[in-house]
Structures are given as structure tokens and as C-alpha cells.
């Protein structure tokens, strides 16, 4: 890999295309997106599953890179879509994490005490949310959390999950309504 | 929706150490499979992969090692106007304070031993987050979204915080209290608040704390 600056500056689609001939270039895609993908998976499954899911996601992406739509310069929807499938296979781990949080008030991936005073915690905010997330069906939760935690747009979620944008909108609407019903009045804004 | 967006936002982006195993698995998997196109008949050797890994890693960590060796801390002004502080060692609080001032942020920095905190009432808070132990759950829920102290400083990685000056008004002081956490994976805990403009910040008097 002799043109490092070009590689670092290239968009994802260019990197993926180039990796067809130079597989090692794919590692740059990992370094670019793995830190935040790992964070997203950790929020949903906890740190013990996150490493496996991230590794499996990038391996699957690498093996299927020949099918990547090179008209999409940002590979995040593609990667988060693969990760969503991996998370779906570990649904029990996800629901266990929410239940454990309801009991203990501790998320295993969080930095304790960050940005809040020691005596103040966000448990009061998060516990009702965890309870509400637990009650969502998997498809609705995927859409809601890809928007809320991964920061994807409706179109990007549609690309990630290979569903029409209208389906994204209806699932998101259903998930929001469900959350609204499950949370104390005024807590869902 | 804002409450959900902020849920578990203290979960940090993964560090290089966190990702080392996954990266190794990817590199191993890449080696195990031939390139999809055989026209160039390239052989992917371990050294080439290691070079690729090294180059990419250097790009990620450049701000921390630019001076040669790892400094106790690094203050980086980002193009979007935010400021990243990488805290590698809890020493030289005055140096960090001075560098933040150079970056445009008036700050007070304290490094605390394990199981201690600064005594209360060091300053008058710009919002109710400081000294908020007595708040009700409803007040806290509202406060997390509304109090600028929570917005002005975010922990973004195991050793990094991001300061957003847009939430700091003229004359206010950003008060940062880092407590040694005695855990390499989570080396410190942070308390961060805004002191009201015109409110002097008293020096930190460490007191025992069970947390």
C-alpha cells in the first residue's frame, strides 16, 4: 500500500473497490468505522459480545465486498445493516442486557460517573427507556436504534435493512408511539 | 427521542486495544481468502498486512504521539470548534488548565486520589447540576437534556473528553474534577460543571468519598 494518503482520504466505495485487488486496503475501512460500530453494538449487547459482532461484521463485509453498490460513498449503512443481522442472532443477549440494567442500574460498557456529578445518575432517565426498549419487537427496535444511536437517516436505515423508506417510517412511527405509551408522561420528546 | 439518543452515551467508542482482537480476526480472514480478482496475481503476505495495519493505526493515533512519546495530556482544537482533551496521566493540572485557556476555555482542573472528591460548595453553578444530589427523578430527567453543564463536556473515549465551547457562556468557568479510578480500562471518573460568571472557584479540598 504505497499511496497511504490517497487511501486515507478515499471514500468508502473507493476503498472497497480497491480492496478487490488489494485486500489489505480493507483494513482502512475497519479503522475508519469499527470504533463507532463497536460502540453501537456495545450499547445494544454489552462489551463481551461487541468484539465478536464487530469481527463477524467486517469479515462478512470483506467476503461480500464484490457485491457492494459503489454508488454509495458511505459504507456505514452497509456495515450497520450487517451488524443488525448479527445482533438479531443474539437477541437474547440484548434482552438480557436490558433486564440486567433494570435490576442493577449498570450498563457494562459505560464509563461510570462520566459527565454527571457522583451523586447524580442517569438511572432515572434510562431505566424507563430500557423497559420500553425491551417491549419493542426486534424490527422496530432495529429501526429506532439505528436512527437514535447510530445516527443514520431514514434513507440510510432503508439501505441498511434493505427495506423501503416507507417501511422505515412506519416502523419508526410505531416504535415511537410504543415508547411514548410506555414512558411517564412528558419523558418522550 | 432526545432522551433515547442520550441513553448510555457514556459508552465510549472502542479504543485500539478494544478492537485488537477483532482486527486480528479480520486480517487473518483476509489472508485466508484469495483476492477476488486474480489478474494481478498478488500474494498478500503477513508483512504487507502489518504495514497496512501500522499505517492506519498511526493515522488514528497521530495527535497523541506527534511530539514523540505519549504526553500526560493533549489538547486538540477540532475543525468543528470543539476541543478534545486526551488525558493519559493525571498530572500537571495547571498545564492542562493553561492549555485550555489558550484554546479559549477558562477551566479549573483537579486531579483526585481514589475514593476522594472535592468538598462541596466550591462555586456557584451556572445551572442546577452542581450540588444536585437532592433532585427528584423528574428534575434529573429534565436536567440531563437541558443543563448546559452536561452538554458542554462529554466523555467520548476511555481517555478522552470533548468540550463544546458553544455551551459555555462568557465569564463562566468549566470545572473539571478527575478522580483516579484505579482501573486501566476506565482510568478516571469525571465530574464536570459550569461555574456561573463572576463566581470564583475555590481550590479543591479533597474529602473522602465512598464512590
Do A30 and A53 lie in one domain? The reply is yes
Please identify, among A77, A99, A121, the residue that sits at the C-terminal boundary of a domain: A121
CA atoms within 13 A on the CB side of B89: 7
Say yes or no to pLDDT of B79 above 70: yes
Residues 113-172 in B contacting A (C-alpha not used; CB under 8 Å):
117, 129-133, 135, 137-138, 140-141, 144-145, 150, 153-155, 158
Model confidence at B37, pLDDT cuts 50, 70, 90, reads very low
Query: How many angstroms separate the CA atoms of B155 and B190, rounded?
Result: 8
Q: pLDDT digits over A158-180, tens only?
A: 999 999 999 999 999 999 999 98
Bridge partners of B207?
A: B117
Do A69 and A86 lie in one domain? The reply is yes
CATH code of the domain covering residue A167 = 1.10.10.10
Do A57 and A112 lie in one domain? The reply is yes
Contact B18 A38 (CB under 8 A): yes
**A24, A98, A180, best to mutate vs chain B, most B CBs in 10 Å:** A24
CB proximity list for B87: less than 8 A, separation 6 or greater: B72, B73, B96, B159, B160, B161, B178, B187, B188
Q: With both helix axes pointing from N to C terminus, report the angle between A76-88 and A91-104 in degrees, rounded to the nearest 10.
A: 80
Please identify, among A89, A121, A153, the residue that sits at the C-terminal boundary of a domain: A121
Say yes or no to pLDDT of B68 above 50: no
- Helix or strand run (H / E) with residue A146: helix A138-148
Say yes or no to pLDDT of B54 above 60: no
Do A145 and A62 lie in one domain? The reply is no
Do A59 and A132 lie in one domain? The reply is no
Average pLDDT, stretch A71-99? 94
* B209 interfaces chain A, CB cutoff of 8 Å: yes
Do A13 and A62 lie in one domain? The reply is yes
Do A159 and A97 lie in one domain? The reply is no
Strands B73-77 and B83-87: antiparallel
Beta-carbon count within 10 A of A97 CB: 25
Structural domain including A141 reads 125-188
CATH code of the domain covering residue A5 = 1.10.1740.10
| Per-residue pLDDT, B6 | 84
What ipTM was predicted for this assembly? Answer: 0.86
Do A136 and A154 lie in one domain? The reply is yes
Find out whether A45 and A94 touch, Cβ atoms under 8 Å: yes
| Per-residue pLDDT, A175 | 95
To the nearest whole percent, how much of chain A has pLDDT over 90?
64
Domain count, chain A: 2
When the pLDDT of each residue in chain B is averaged and rounded to a whole number, the result is 76
Do A134 and A69 lie in one domain? The reply is no
Taking alpha carbons only, the member of B110, B131, B94 closest to residue B202 is: B110
| Per-residue pLDDT, B66 | 32
Find out whether A70 and A13 touch, Cβ atoms under 8 Å: yes
Q: pLDDT digits over A28-55, tens only?
A: 999 999 999 999 999 999 998 999 999 9
Grid coordinates representing A151? 445516527
Do A112 and A131 lie in one domain? The reply is no
* B20 interfaces chain A, CB cutoff of 8 Å: no
Model confidence at B30, pLDDT cuts 50, 70, 90, reads confident
pTM beyond 0.90: no
Sign for the pseudo-dihedral over CA of B124, B125, B128, B132: negative
Taking alpha carbons only, the member of B97, B164, B152 closest to residue B127 is: B152
Say yes or no to pLDDT of A111 above 90: no
Do A170 and A136 lie in one domain? The reply is yes
When the pLDDT of each residue in chain A is averaged and rounded to a whole number, the result is 87
Do A136 and A174 lie in one domain? The reply is yes
Please identify, among A121, A150, A177, the residue that sits at the C-terminal boundary of a domain: A121
Amino acid at each position: 500500500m504505497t499511496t497511504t494518503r490517497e487511501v486515507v482520504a478515499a471514500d468508502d466505495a473507493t476503498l472497497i473497490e480497491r480492496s478487490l485487488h488489494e485486500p489489505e486496503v480493507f483494513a482502512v475501512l475497519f479503522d475508519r468505522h469499527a470504533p463507532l460500530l463497536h460502540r453501537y453494538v456495545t450499547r445494544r449487547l454489552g462489551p463481551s459480545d461487541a468484539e465478536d459482532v464487530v469481527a463477524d461484521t467486517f469479515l462478512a463485509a470483506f467476503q461480500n465486498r464484490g457485491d457492494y453498490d459503489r454508488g454509495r460513498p458511505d459504507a456505514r449503512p452497509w456495515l450497520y445493516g450487517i451488524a443488525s443481522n448479527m445482533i438479531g442472532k443474539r437477541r437474547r443477549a440484548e434482552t438480557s442486557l436490558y433486564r440486567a440494567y433494570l435490576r442493577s442500574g449498570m450498563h457494562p460498557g459505560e464509563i461510570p460517573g462520566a459527565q454527571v456529578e457522583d451523586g447524580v445518575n442517569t438511572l432515572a432517565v434510562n431505566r424507563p427507556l430500557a423497559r420500553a426498549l425491551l417491549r419493542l419487537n426486534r424490527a422496530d427496535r432495529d429501526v429506532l436504534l439505528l436512527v437514535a444511536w447510530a445516527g443514520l437517516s431514514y434513507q440510510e436505515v432503508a439501505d441498511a435493512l434493505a427495506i423501503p423508506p416507507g417501511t422505515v417510517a412506519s416502523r419508526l412511527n410505531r416504535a415511537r408511539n410504543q415508547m411514548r405509551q410506555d414512558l411517564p408522561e412528558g419523558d418522550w420528546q | 427521542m432526545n432522551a433515547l439518543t442520550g441513553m448510555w452515551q457514556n459508552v465510549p467508542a472502542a479504543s485500539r486495544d478494544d478492537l485488537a482482537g477483532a482486527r486480528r480476526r479480520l486480517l487473518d480472514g483476509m489472508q485466508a481468502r484469495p483476492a477476488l480478482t486474480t489478474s494481478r496475481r498478488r500474494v498478500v503476505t503477513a508483512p504487507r498486512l502489518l504495514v497496512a495495519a501500522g499505517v492506519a493505526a498511526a493515522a488514528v493515533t497521530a495527535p497523541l504521539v506527534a511530539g514523540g512519546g505519549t504526553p500526560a495530556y493533549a489538547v486538540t482544537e477540532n475543525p468543528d470548534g470543539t476541543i478534545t482533551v486526551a488525558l493519559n496521566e493525571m498530572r500537571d493540572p495547571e498545564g492542562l488548565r493553561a492549555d485550555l485557556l489558550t484554546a479559549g476555555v477558562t477551566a479549573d482542573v483537579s486531579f483526585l486520589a481514589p475514593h476522594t472528591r472535592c468538598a462541596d460548595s466550591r462555586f456557584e453553578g451556572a445551572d442546577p447540576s452542581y450540588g444536585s444530589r437532592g433532585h427528584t427523578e423528574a428534575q434529573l430527567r429534565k436536567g440531563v437534556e437541558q443543563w448546559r453543564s452536561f452538554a458542554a463536556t462529554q466523555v467520548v473515549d476511555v481517555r478522552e473528553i470533548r468540550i463544546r465551547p458553544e455551551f459555555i457562556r462568557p465569564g463562566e468557568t468549566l470545572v473539571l474534577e478527575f478522580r483516579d479510578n484505579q482501573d486501566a480500562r476506565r482510568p478516571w471518573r469525571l465530574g464536570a460543571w459550569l461555574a456561573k460568571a463572576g463566581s470564583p472557584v475555590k481550590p479543591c479540598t479533597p474529602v473522602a468519598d465512598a464512590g
